[in-house]
Amino acid sequence: MSKSSPIIKGLQLRQNIHWRASTDIPLYCIVFATTSLGMMGLSRIGLWSCLSVALLLLLRAEAASIPITIVETARARGAVCLDGSPPAYHLERGSGSGINNWLVHMEGGGWCEDLARCVSRRDTRRGSSSKMDKTMGFSGILGRKQAANPDFYNWNRIKIRYCDGSSFTGDVEAVDPVS
């Protein structure tokens, strides 16, 4: 794509477009959403979806890769995901004046309200630590950039992953592979 081109993907640009050369998808969303054709032809859901993708790409581009830690010893105590795999978390250690402070984020995911819903989520990241991303980027209140997160950027930041379908209250004597 050329910055000097007045037409991108067949759509006439308006003067208020700000170019972001680092990502094509957000640029395409902005261009499409701000043209007169785009505003008439793009539904609200489509517009929000497009802008959400743009935001997620920008946040992902600014975040570091934080490896997952699987808590193998938790299985012996009955703390398991829906599929019987052990629970997991992502931790980024603090530094400087924040080294003794902790920010804990417990990931949400909702209850699986019946056996069928628990079984259907068992083979997803919401039911198995083996299906979770092996690395994750932190942003927002968990981010490490002082300008964007002046209060907590150098604290120990941990994200506890959700996979038991019961708001972290799961406790089993034995894992039943069927349910």
Tokens encoding 132: 């979770």
Distance (Å, whole) CA 154 – CA 102: 10
Contact 35, 7 (CB under 8 A): no
pLDDT of residue 13: 31
pLDDT of residue 157: 97
pLDDT of residue 166: 82
pLDDT of residue 170: 66
User: Could you say which residues of the chain have pLDDT below 50?
Assistant: 1-40, 61
pTM recorded for the entire structure? 0.62
SS3 62: helix
Distance (Å, whole) CA 61 – CA 53: 12
pLDDT of residue 16: 32
Strand-pair category, 156-160 with 88-92: antiparallel
